[in-house]
Amino acid sequence: MKKFIVSLVLISSLLQARADEGMWLPMLLGQQVYNDMVKRGLKLTKEQLFSVNKSSLKDAILIFGGGCTGEIVSDKGLIFTNHHCGYDAIATASSVEHNYLKDGFYAYNMGQEIKSKLTVQFLDKIVDVTKEIEDAVKGLSWADRTKKMPDVYKTITDKVLDKENGRAGRVYSMFKGNQYLMYVYQTFRDVRLVGTPPESVGKFGGDTDNWEWPRHTGDFSIFRVYGNKDGKPADFSADNVPLKPKHFLPVSIKGIKDGDYAMIYGYPGGTNRYETSYGIKLKNEIENPSLVGLRDMRLKYMHEQMIKDPAVKLKLASNYAGVANYWKFFDGETKQLTKFKTYEQKQAYENGFAKWAIGKTEYANILSDYAANYAAWTPYSKQRQYLNEGIFGSPITAFAAQLQGIEAALTKVGTTDADLKKAVAGAEAGRKAYLEAADRASDEKIVAAAAMMYYNDVDKNQHPVGFFDKIKAEFGDLKDEATFKKWAKNLFDKTLILDDNKWAAFIAKPDANILQADPAFDYGASFAKNYTTKYAPLFTTFTTKNNELGRAYLKGILEKDPVAAAKMYPDANFSMRVSFGNVKSYAPRDAVKYDFVTTSKGLLEKYVANDYEFDLPAKQIELLKKKDFGQYIDKSRNDLIVGFITTNDITGGNSGSPVIDANGNLIGLAFDGNYEALSHKIAFDKDLNRTICVDVRYVLWCVDKLGGAKNIINELKLVK
């Protein structure tokens, strides 16, 4: 452990970003970075931020579900996170009769809290495993190294595996494979829903306001983590008790000012700040436009059905939200990368690197190898996007393709009865889940549109052989939209997947000929096999080579210029990070300046009765018009603050992250970024980047005044 601290602190003390850029490893801040935090206003010691042996801020931060952050806010295991992070659990708990998604929900005692399938993970410790990994793969080619790495990881993590106590290790690659850290987590399996505002509050503004400021969204939900009587992880049980945390965050209702210190802890999912110009070109010209166009189509057809029927909305809500979120993101990302000439900036840096690398055997060919690698893969990139975001963006197609497991069991020599039984059982479970979430009306339109878009936009030499010829022969001209609609209707009418009797007969006596003749299976399997047999190996070669080049390139950058290295830090990879900055207004364009907060006044101005995105509960309108803000009022404005913005550096995975003041108190929850800086996964904009946060006072007002759940308020440690 001591060696780990020495080796990486030296790097971390060098890798300092510009302005507020940087998602720092909190255990490796380095004195220089910590000093910068203090200069910005921090009042806490380094040990209060992160300590191995004592409770610290890091102990209040958790991985929520599979891809968000949450924070402990009471000594009884109460969790705050975003509404969109708890969305699936809320929708799952809801029914048409008890529609918690629509109407909201608060447990007024612990007995009313609702069981979920969620888990939360607390960081226990970190171990440097770089030497162990490098020794295990020493002398291997990159391809062999890549193949062996999962086994090496498993050997390392097996040493800390403790199933009884829910502990397991996870190895993270830092600096593109130049460092390796193992994080040991403790996972708790009994997580219960405590409270959520109505969706009209938690998702106020919908897709229109997504990634936008000013914002008036109450993006929060509340859960509680339980353990057994000994405080250990346990499955759901009435005998379980609320977890006694090592640390929890006090909640400040003092308010904020422009310029106040702000710190965000969490688990940012991924950045690629050291991407090359080749990657940006591919992203801007092919990947992002393809993704945006295909998601736009899917959202259109889902939305048409969701606004017609509350039951359909519940079915599609979680999927729709996930598709919509990054549809707008990738559209904005391309626009910002283009606007700020990121491609040209990368090229200029690479030209300088190439001159430096002349005569250096290890680095001389890196950029030419990058160019060759991208040239080999680029012709197939669009097809992969159209497959993932279009063809398999359809639920029925995605499920139908999974039935290849049964086909393989039926046609492969040497398959046992046990193998076939297992494949059939998996298909049964998959079909049940599919039917629970499926909506034929929207999916049928998605199937037709995705197939036609693929036919028109993807190089015809890459199409599944003969597939579109069959559509033409039976349903008509492939230039006619009506042809694809007729074909899609026939697929849904005749597939055994949607016919209980046909399915039961097939499951009772599986037959490869029957399966292969099924129109849904024929569609899904044709495209899946076309990709896996011809193009997946090319993509594997491309990504493997890119990873090899990325490691060498970053190593070279560190060697080339220690001054430039002072602006570096490891890319986000869903390991715990901390960023620091300030609450701050900004001016995105000429004659426009955005305030650092939004208020209930703006909320009422946006409100449109019965609107899909801008409606609000009648009780909320009444309370706001009366200015019944209680102790949550911002006295400087005589209003209720809804949201605020900071200069912090975050990305996906930080959803639900606590925004913490200089003294370690919770002041808000991070939930979004601003449209003007959506290039942030690739390039941080020091002037325009803002993190959008829901003010904790608005959260508490919704819980207290709107929800009447004073029991939750009483559980918190309020700082006034």
Please, what is the end-to-end C-alpha distance for the chain in angstroms?
A: 40
- Angle ∠(186,187,191) on CA atoms, nearest 5: 140
Expressed as residue numbers, the domain containing 356 is: 275-392+536-567
pLDDT at 245: 97
How does pLDDT run across 193-224, given as a tens digit for each residue? 999 999 999 999 998 999 999 999 999 999 99
Give residue 3's pLDDT band: very low, low, confident or very high (50, 70, 90): very low
User: How large is the average pLDDT for residues 557-567?
Assistant: 77
How does pLDDT run across 682-707, given as a tens digit for each residue? 999 999 999 999 999 999 999 999 99
Which residues are marked as active site? 84, 219, 655
Q: Is 115 domain-assigned? A: no
Q: Is 209 domain-assigned? A: no
363 and 442 belong to one structural domain? no
Residues 699/80, Cβ–Cβ less than 8 Å: yes
User: How large is the average pLDDT for residues 231-236?
Assistant: 97
DSSP-assigned states of every residue in 267-332:
------TT--HHHHHHIIIIIHHHHHHHHHHHHHHHHHHHTT-HHHHHHHHHHHHHHHHHHHHHHH
pLDDT at 20: 87
Q: Is 559 domain-assigned? A: yes
Q: Helix, strand or coil for residue 560? A: helix
Q: Is 130 domain-assigned? A: no
pLDDT at 19: 66
pLDDT at 562: 78
427 and 524 belong to one structural domain? yes
352 and 311 belong to one structural domain? yes
How does pLDDT run across 571-627, given as a tens digit for each residue? 999 999 999 999 999 999 999 999 999 999 999 999 999 998 999 999 999 999 999
349 and 478 belong to one structural domain? no
Record the tokens describing residue 442, joined without a space: 């929207």
Q: Is 368 domain-assigned? A: yes
- Is the pLDDT at 411 greater than 90? The verdict is yes
Q: Whole-model pTM?
A: 0.88
Record the tokens describing residue 13, joined without a space: 């003390």
458 and 423 belong to one structural domain? yes
pLDDT at 14: 35
502 and 519 belong to one structural domain? yes
459 and 556 belong to one structural domain? no
pLDDT at 76: 98
379 and 411 belong to one structural domain? no
Q: Is 162 domain-assigned? A: no
pLDDT at 66: 87
Taking the C-alpha atoms of residue 199 and residue 219, their distance in angstroms, rounded to an integer, is 9
pLDDT at 9: 36
In one letter, which amino acid is 255? G
Give residue 4's pLDDT band: very low, low, confident or very high (50, 70, 90): very low
Give residue 318's pLDDT band: very low, low, confident or very high (50, 70, 90): confident
Mean pLDDT is lowest, of 302-316, 484-498, 519-533, for 302-316
How does pLDDT run across 418-471, given as a tens digit for each residue? 999 999 999 999 999 999 999 999 999 999 999 999 999 999 999 999 999 999
- Paired residues of 188 in beta bridges: 120
pLDDT at 566: 61
Residues 513/506, Cβ–Cβ less than 8 Å: no
pLDDT at 564: 64
Could you give the C-alpha distances from 700 to 90, 221, 583, 632, 633, in angstroms and in order? 19, 11, 20, 8, 11
How does pLDDT run across 709-719, given as a tens digit for each residue? 999 999 999 99
- Is the pLDDT at 563 greater than 80? The verdict is no
354 and 427 belong to one structural domain? no
- Is the pLDDT at 306 greater than 90? The verdict is yes
Share of the chain above pLDDT 90, in %: 90
Residues 694/642, Cβ–Cβ less than 8 Å: yes
The average confidence (pLDDT) of the chain is 94
The tally of domains found in the chain comes to 2
Beta carbons within 8 Å of 620's beta carbon, 6+ residues apart? 201, 706
Q: Is 541 domain-assigned? A: yes
547 and 483 belong to one structural domain? no
How does pLDDT run across 490-500, given as a tens digit for each residue? 999 999 999 99
pLDDT at 16: 42
How does pLDDT run across 263-283, given as a tens digit for each residue? 999 999 999 999 999 999 999
How does pLDDT run across 77-105, given as a tens digit for each residue? 999 999 999 999 999 999 999 999 999 99
Q: Is the sign of the CA dihedral 174, 16, 686, 647 positive or negative?
A: positive
362 and 446 belong to one structural domain? no
DSSP-assigned states of every residue in 330-378:
HHHHHHHHHHTTHHHHHHHHHHHHHHHHTT-TTTTTHHHHHHHHHHHHH
487 and 550 belong to one structural domain? no
How does pLDDT run across 358-385, given as a tens digit for each residue? 999 999 999 999 999 999 999 999 999 9
User: How large is the average pLDDT for residues 462-488?
Assistant: 97
Q: Is 384 domain-assigned? A: yes
How does pLDDT run across 542-557, given as a tens digit for each residue? 999 999 999 999 999 9
- Is the pLDDT at 339 greater than 60? The verdict is yes
Give residue 15's pLDDT band: very low, low, confident or very high (50, 70, 90): very low
